[in-house]
Structure 1
Amino acid sequence: MSGIFGLLDPSGPSNRDIERAAAVAGYRGHPVVRVVGQVALGAFARAGREPSFVDTEASFGVADARVDEAPPRAAAARVVGDDVGKLVDVLESRGAAGLDDVAADFAVAWFDRRRRILLLARDAFGMRPLFLARRGRRVGFASDPQILVAMGLASGDTDRDSLVSHLAGRPPGGWSSAFHGVSRVPGGRWVAFDADGRSWRGRWFRPEDVDERRGSLEDFAIELRELLVEAVASRAEGNRVALALSGGRDSGAVAIALALAGVSATSITQSFDDDLGCSESHLAEPIAKEHGHGFVDVRVPSSVPAAELGRLPVEFGSPLAVPVFPLALSRADAAADAGATVMLDGEGGDLFVAPPPVILDLVRRRHLVVATRAIAAYRRGPYSAPVIAKWIGKSLLPGPLTDLRERLRPLPPWIGRGDRKRLRELDTPRGSESLAAQLVTAAYLGSDEGWERCLRLRGLDYACPILDLRVVRLILSMPPELRTPARGYKAVLAAALLGSWDADRVKAVQTPYFRRLARSMLDEHSGIFFPDASLARRGYVDPAGLGSFDRERWLIQSLYLVGPEMWLRREDVDG
């Protein structure tokens, strides 16, 4: 399946109306709807892949899912290969908390017939999108927010807080979406509704509960090798695979794991203007060819024609297009041209060495000498001293002080006075959520539904083998001294898979490209940055600040203006 949708309606949902609403996301496939009493569940069918529903005396469920490992009862309780059944069995037996024992990418909707409760949940890192909206006692959910608008549950208007937060360069996250009245279920979370309109929600993904294990680096490396090979094999099964391959360790390890799993992929490496020094083809091509993969070098443009900018609203389905969109679009186009049906990448590798939890654990255990060595080693990698200091300070300082620091952060000059105050109200600590959960989810900020949509438009799924929960649990169970780079950067990954390839792995810094792209946007599409731009006329930015900002200081940040401006221009044309 390539997406789900549905409605809880006490007055009884209309099969035909829901199917018509789902058709606005027809790029996902043909909508199939089933109605049981007050609940309608739907999924998109693609060629050769009919959707699967669970419809029993106790449960009614649907999911957009790929389950890699489930508890024995769930794995055996349904027809072999029925991933929806495995998820529903876990929910029936243990509730949402049981999802922590499932390695899967999923968005699931489950109606508990006995308690008459609809539960929605999403995988730990938000690999499959899931949105919801409600009007009165009617609650709808979908993989695309436009379906919820078509159901009459939301207006489709842009959510001001989300848009201004994006314009300020804040990362995506939380329950808010780009559209007013539409929420997104964050990764690792669930929300439930009953027929009387009551709702409650929680977090099932609890990385802080992973117990530390003792063992040598070699022991963990052997286990990691087996798990990562299993992870790539399950994601590649039945697919033609494309791999986003850089010069770094993470995607390189995935390339080797694919070869060990007997999978030949098309590796896609992006290159840039020669004088920028960002290209990694000289590092990616040898490892790809040595392990039996095809190799495609894709040149990323530093200049974008107006017609390409006009694609952004359709490509990302939201005003919150990724600021460096040429990277995303060129990679997606290359994978489609190669005939791939799934795109893999190395996202999640920072979990191996993320400085905040590692150094903090060492300091708390009074391993000060090891912590000092680790900090020195981190500085030889991609983490600068200020970045390390910021994360450690955020980890150790009381909440009110970290909150104060966030409130004092400079904001771009195009953010108006009223919005500045509102943003600082939104920049608050995440309450009772544990530090471990914050740090683990911060290591992967790719829960961007726009990227998933770009790939789905081209008939591709998206998957990150390193973010397989089996791999994540193993990494989190390692003693912190084994996760420091003192014995080599990502030493366990080198011992598990990279071997001699580890010595020359370098992930290029792409900042020079970002700066050139931003300069070309300012020069060639200057109307985006004029005081009479749509963003200014609609009141989302301060016209004076937009027209006079320091172009060197805020150069890269100005890319955050492009996607929202193109979205509003399309709205102006469409009326």
Structure 2
Amino acid sequence: MCGIAGVFDPRRVPERAELDAMIGTLSHRGPDGRGTWIQGPIGLAHARLAIIDPEGGAQPMGSADGQVQLVFNGEIFNYIELRTELRQCGHRFATDSDTEVLLQAYQAWGDAFLSRLNGQFALGLWDARRQRLLLARDGVGIRPLFWTRVGQRLAFASEAKALFALPEVPRALDSAGLAATFGWWAPLAPHTAFEGIHCLPPGHCFAIDARGQTLTRWWDWDFPLTDPFTPVDEDALADELHALLVDAVRLQLRADVPVGAYLSGGLDSSILTTIIRRHTDAPLRSFSLTFDDPEFDESEHQQRMVRHLDTQHSSIGCSRHDIATAFARTVWHAETPLVRTAPTPMLRLADSVRAAGYKVVLTGEGADEVFGGYDLFKEAKIRRFVAQRPDSPRRARIVERLYPWLARSPGGANALSQRFFTDSRVPGHDAVFAHQTRLSSTRRAWAFFTPERQQALARHDPAGQLRAQLPERFDQWLPMARDQYVEAHTLMSGYLLAAQGDRMAMAASIEGRYPFLDPRVIAFAARLPPRLKMRGLSEKLLLRKAFAHELPPQIGRRTKQPYRSPDSASFFHNGQPLPWVAELLSDTRVRDAGLFDAPAVARLSAKCATGRATGFADNMAFVGVLSTMLLHAQFVKPATPVLENA
């Protein structure tokens, strides 16, 4: 895992000093080495986290004939198989790195090499013969890639902060990115939190040459147009899934350094750790988070798996104080407003993994999107089913069955019950039907922006932007498939794999790997009938069946527990905001930033300080305001002091 950067300027040769400045901002992504390469209109830079072939995998790397140069962030898990195939075609290799495999795969197959990759990656490739720059990103968006243009000059990098190392790149928050964040929880690609900074969408490649630029989708999620009631052999499918996941884990354990695993105590991480322990020769070293607040803590289930697998395990606790202390660092790495504090404990967890001497961890993200594990899918199923009885007084009670954990969250159950069925202002066949509650709850934070900013936000329609990006076959898919597609292209790629995944792990120079997002696993799950993903209100049926004989019953049958952490309460003590919070949200600072209405922010802060925050909406609004103010102070006006203890 690494950090990459580059400049393409048809007018002049890029300067080494500016490339050094760009890659210098990404040292956390690559502490093991640094390199630059400049020729003609192109300059490439790389910061390396050495995982495969530490001695021979330095970058930028050039082809044997010098005509192709590559900077690459990520891992290609099937590089051994690809190298064998290329050797059979006459190619010779000087290193054991997956980077060289990418170079020769491009020379052998052109842009079509992307469809042969099983991996997680973002890359910049210069083809000297064609005077062509190719940028590409993995199918589901695990690794980030950003770009910007200033005149004819194009710059790209793993993170926006590297682009801001170029003095000519302007700094301002983007209204479209803010509108989507306070709705979908993250900007929708190609938008980001910053004006003029673009995110290459997952599964896309971007080619720039003398003729112009071309954006092409090379991979996307797809679902079959099948009868959901077609008979299937569940036992055979469970066996197939078991074998497929074992192989996905086997591939993702490939590394020349030790590999650990996150163990949350939920079904997904328990399956991964079980596979490592029972089906590979790799030693099992596991890491987990605990909370002192029982509303968020899952240590009981973690310890059950530790005993079951006899794993070498360590856990790190996370308190409200810990969250407040690390939140500014979280935002700096996330480079986007956050409406939850959940990324911060993940940052602490990654720090603990690095302190234990590990660079790589396997994690269970993606399973809920691939196999329909989220409560959101249950909500949508129920709302569609009962849509014909809008006046039934008994429907709201079903929220208690969906969210038993809300009983431990004061105010949460009542607020959600009131909105669960009434928030749906779109028909059941609409693309955003399943996500309407999330959109409307998060959008309530728009009220805290200044009137001028609210007008700017209103010019953007996050739901409409999503609809405009849907594939042609979308309307022909079954409802659950449509819901899964939207979830994968919003919350998963924009928030979970980014702010809560790549950015927090790489802040500690840790590479996260995601076996449930192996493209073969995604394709397998896509062709399953919905009843094998959800039956009644029981989720991930086939996945549970595939591993039922290897998990403790309490884990195998356990209902989905969403990962959460303390939110607004983390930033107050004895009814008062922490000093750095009070300073950042002061009337002067809020008015100076020009983003939020100062009196409204003061009222929200007072409400949270006294414990009167109402459910998720108030909590998300407060965290969103605080993180946006931090983002503005860190990037838009970096001369503005942000207290060191923030």
Give your verdict on TM over 0.5.
Answer: yes
Change (3 A) 1:111 1:452: same
Which residues in structure 2 correspond to 1:331-346 (within 5 Å)?
A: 331-346=349-364
Query: Counterpart in 2 of 1:41?
Result: 44
Write the letter of the residue equivalent to 2:457. Answer: L
Write the letter of the residue equivalent to 2:625. Answer: L
1:39-59 CA-partner distances (Å, limit 9, x unpaired): 223322346353252424764
Which residues in structure 2 correspond to 1:134-533 (within 5 Å)?
A: 134-163=149-178, 166=181, 170-195=185-210, 198-208=212-222, 215-237=232-254, 238-259=256-277, 260-274=279-293, 276-304=294-322, 308-309=326-327, 311-312=329-330, 314-316=332-334, 323-350=341-368, 351-353=370-372, 396-397=429-430, 410-427=444-461, 428-430=464-466, 431-434=468-471, 435=474, 436=482, 437-442=485-490, 444=492, 445-449=495-499, 451-486=501-536, 489-499=539-549, 500-504=551-555, 505-509=558-562, 513-514=566-567, 516-517=569-570, 520=573, 523-525=576-578, 527=582, 530=585, 532=587
Query: Counterpart in 2 of 1:13?
Result: 14
Q: Give the SS at the match of 1:447.
A: helix
Change (3 A) 1:361 1:203: farther
Cα distance, 1:492 vs structure 2 = 1.8
Change (3 A) 1:449 1:42: farther
What CA distance in whole angstroms lies between the structure 2 residues aligned with 1:168 and 1:531? 25
* 1:210/1:476 contact within 8 Å kept: yes
Cα distance, 1:189 vs structure 2 = 2.1
Match of 2:630 among 559, 566, 575: 566
1:269-313 CA-partner distances (Å, limit 9, x unpaired): 322235x33321111112123223222232211235875455445
1:533-560 CA-partner distances (Å, limit 9, x unpaired): 5243211111122122354234311112
339-348 or 514-523, which deviates more: 514-523
Write the letter of the residue equivalent to 2:626. Answer: V
Cα distance, 1:164 vs structure 2 = 6.2
Query: Counterpart in 1 of 2:394?
Result: none
* 2:432/2:486 contact within 8 Å kept: no
What CA distance in whole angstroms lies between the structure 2 residues aligned with 1:167 and 1:536? 20
What CA distance in whole angstroms lies between the structure 2 residues aligned with 1:146 and 1:211? 43
Cα distance, 1:522 vs structure 2 = 7.0
Write the letter of the residue equivalent to 2:58. Answer: P
Cα distance, 1:123 vs structure 2 = 1.0
Corresponding residue pairs, total: 563
* 1:125/1:187 contact within 8 Å kept: yes
Q: Give the SS at the match of 2:552.
A: helix
* 1:303/1:521 contact within 8 Å kept: no
Query: Counterpart in 1 of 2:3?
Result: 3
Query: Counterpart in 1 of 2:133?
Result: 118
Write the letter of the residue equivalent to 1:40. Answer: G
* 1:132/1:140 contact within 8 Å kept: yes
Q: Give the SS at the match of 1:513.
A: coil
Q: Give the SS at the match of 2:161.
A: helix
* 2:593/2:629 contact within 8 Å kept: no
1:212-235 CA-partner distances (Å, limit 9, x unpaired): 798422222222222222322333
Change (3 A) 1:360 1:546: closer
* 2:448/2:597 contact within 8 Å kept: yes
* 1:175/1:184 contact within 8 Å kept: yes
1:40-82 CA-partner distances (Å, limit 9, x unpaired): 2332234635325242476433312311237976752253854
Cα distance, 1:481 vs structure 2 = 2.6
Query: Counterpart in 1 of 2:148?
Result: 133
* 1:494/1:502 contact within 8 Å kept: no
Query: Counterpart in 1 of 2:412?
Result: none
Q: What RMSD over aligned residues (CA atoms) do the two structures have, in Å? A: 4.2
Change (3 A) 1:432 1:166: closer
What CA distance in whole angstroms lies between the structure 1 residues aligned with 2:378 and 2:96? 38
Write the letter of the residue equivalent to 2:70. Answer: G
Cα distance, 1:118 vs structure 2 = 1.4
Unpaired runs of 5+ residues, structure 2, are 385-396, 405-415, 475-481
Write the letter of the residue equivalent to 2:630. Answer: M
What CA distance in whole angstroms lies between the structure 2 residues aligned with 1:362 and 1:569? 43
Write the letter of the residue equivalent to 1:492. Answer: L
What CA distance in whole angstroms lies between the structure 1 residues aligned with 2:432 and 2:554? 40
What CA distance in whole angstroms lies between the structure 2 residues aligned with 1:529 and 1:495? 50
Cα distance, 1:107 vs structure 2 = 0.4
Cα distance, 1:478 vs structure 2 = 1.6
Cα distance, 1:395 vs structure 2 = 5.8
Unpaired runs of 5+ residues, structure 1, are 365-375
Q: Give the SS at the match of 1:150.
A: coil
* 2:140/2:202 contact within 8 Å kept: yes
* 2:447/2:454 contact within 8 Å kept: no
Q: Give the SS at the match of 2:124.
A: strand
Query: Counterpart in 1 of 2:27?
Result: 26
What CA distance in whole angstroms lies between the structure 1 residues aligned with 2:225 and 2:116? 14
10-19 or 526-535, which deviates more: 526-535
2:73 is aligned with 1:64: yes
